[in-house]
Homo-oligomer: A and B are copies of this chain.
Amino acid sequence: MSQTAISPTRAENYPEWYQQVIASAYMAEMSPVRGCMVIKPWGYAIWENIQQELDKRLKATGHVNAYFPLLLPLSMVEKEAKHIEGFAKECAIVTHSGLEDDGKGGLKLTGKLEEPLIIRPTSEAIIGTMYAKWVQSYRDLPILINQWANVMRWEMRTRLFLRTSEFLWQEGHTAHVSNTEAIQETLKILDLYAEFAENILAMPVVKGEKTATERFPGAVNTYCIEAMMQDKKALQAGTSHFLGQNFSTAYNIQFLNPEGQLEKAWTTSWGVSTRLIGGLIMTHSDDDGLVLPPAVAPYHIVMLPIYRNDEEKKLVLEYCHHLQNLLDKILFNNQTVRVHLDDRDLRGGDKNWQWIKKGVPIRVEVGPRDIAKDSVAVSIRTKPPKEKAFINTQEFIHNINNLLDNIQAEIYQRAKNYKDKNTVEINTQEDFKAFFSTEDSGGFVSCWAIDDPEIESYIKPLKVSARCIPLDQDQNAEGKCIFTGQKNQKRIIFAKAY
């Protein structure tokens, strides 16, 4: 039996495997601050690539970035009743503005605030308040603003990247003249998220609408992309909300239409977060650690020089620098190929395994014998760790773009096959119950079901939730809800979820 770099393996203990992949890649760790993580440089570099790719897409579709305050007065958040209800239990609240000597060698709180301030769990309240000031006429619309920020939700059970009290995200907030335009925006962003997840994160997703029970507090409709992890659980990877006129009513966002009449604006909000990194890990990684799609890998290629003495070292490093210069001129995904030369004074095997565990797509060994033959020894992260291909250096450089494209496609295809294989249709309540009752079964289950809180009593005991009502459905089909027997037109996807 071959040993793996990560212990336990996925099969042995999936949740623990997940923690070990993160630790072995130096991506993040829990901090001494309750429920809050430190995103370490390797994890943060992945987030920067995610930000860059997503930001490019948001700007290309006419959105601009801005920044709104971290703290929200309680009275401001209370204006939308359902909204505050949804977040009340998990808000960090600021009550004082200073510390002073307590006369006993310690410090005590001072500057009690007249009104408590809530650390934003999301920013509809403050952004709605500002939009109400900015919007007078239909000419001021649409407003298409995005914010990159930290937010806080006081979670009881936390897990690195997937659920932390503080997390990083982008939150878009738009205001429009009409119902139709706002719905179009909501769906445009859903498509943008899905395209981003599939092409950049190599993470296949199902696009759908959330059921009423799973809706964002205060929204009319919530749309989402749902991905499947390697334990067959679902991960909500992004949401896009059509808020109707709920927030424009609460915050008084009104405009004069061309006929001079006052109307309420129609708003949307949408976001993805550092949770995507958790999804990325659980979609692609294996028992040797992280596997990164080239589009978000901090390095595409790591060069590992091999030498036994100073003379060889000089020769090999020169060759590496030469190779690096050539690779620096090549574009992948509209950016320079990211090459790192690891010239640390460390055992070759240790180095090699470090980069395997960090998920770098391509490792290139360069030694005196390779140089003599003008070739390099190329290892690919998605192939067995000891497999090497000896490739002519010119050919390697010439093909690097294809190679990266192929790796990206291969990772996506593997994840897609897994998701497709583990998506089933179930047509009776008995089969549904049986499916989710066995220990290691799981996956996406598509059933006829009504969008009604009533079905919760059937699914909750199984620790299953309605993930979404997929958008891609036969519009003329009709079936009977497997729980209530009622006729209905939509299938719902159910799964256990993060």
Contact = CB atoms under 8 A, between A and B. Distances in A.
A220 interface: no
A192 interface: no
A107 interface: yes
Contacts of A32: 73, 76, 126, 129
B90 A97 contact: yes
Nearest to A71: B33
A18 B97 CA distance: 28
A66 B38 contact: yes
A78 interface: yes
A47 B66 CA distance: 10
Given A39-B66, A44-B65, A70-B166, A109 B116 contact: yes
A340 B52 CA distance: 21
Contact of A99 (B88, B94, B107, B145): B88
Interface in A241-299: none
B130 A31 contact: yes
Given A91-B97, A119-B94, A126-B31, A41 B68 contact: no
A65 B41 contact: yes
Contact of A91 (B31, B44, B99, B145): B99
Contacts of A119: 70, 94, 119
B93 A36 contact: no
A68 B31 contact: yes
A78 B31 CA distance: 17
A150 B70 contact: yes
A41 B69 contact: no
A93 B78 contact: no
Given A97-B92, A116-B109, A130 B38 contact: yes
A422 interface: no
Interface in A67-121: 67-74, 76, 78, 84, 88-100, 107, 109, 111, 116-119
Contacts of A84: 99, 107
A371 interface: no
B117 A88 contact: no
A45 interface: yes
Interface in A24-57: 31-33, 36-41, 43-45, 47-48
A109 B92 CA distance: 10
A66 B95 contact: no
A98 B89 contact: yes
Contacts of A66: 38-41, 43-44
A152 interface: yes
Given A96-B95, A130-B31, A38 B88 contact: no
28 contacts: A31-B69, A31-B126, A32-B73, A32-B76, A32-B126, A33-B73, A36-B69, A38-B67, A38-B69, A38-B130, A39-B67, A40-B66, A43-B66, A47-B67, A70-B152, A71-B166, A74-B107, A78-B107, A90-B97, A93-B94, A93-B95, A94-B94, A94-B95, A95-B96, A96-B116, A98-B154, A109-B116, A150-B150
Interface of A: 31-33, 36-41, 43-45, 47-48, 64-74, 76, 78, 84, 88-100, 107, 109, 111, 116-119, 126, 129-130, 145, 149-150, 152, 154, 166, 168
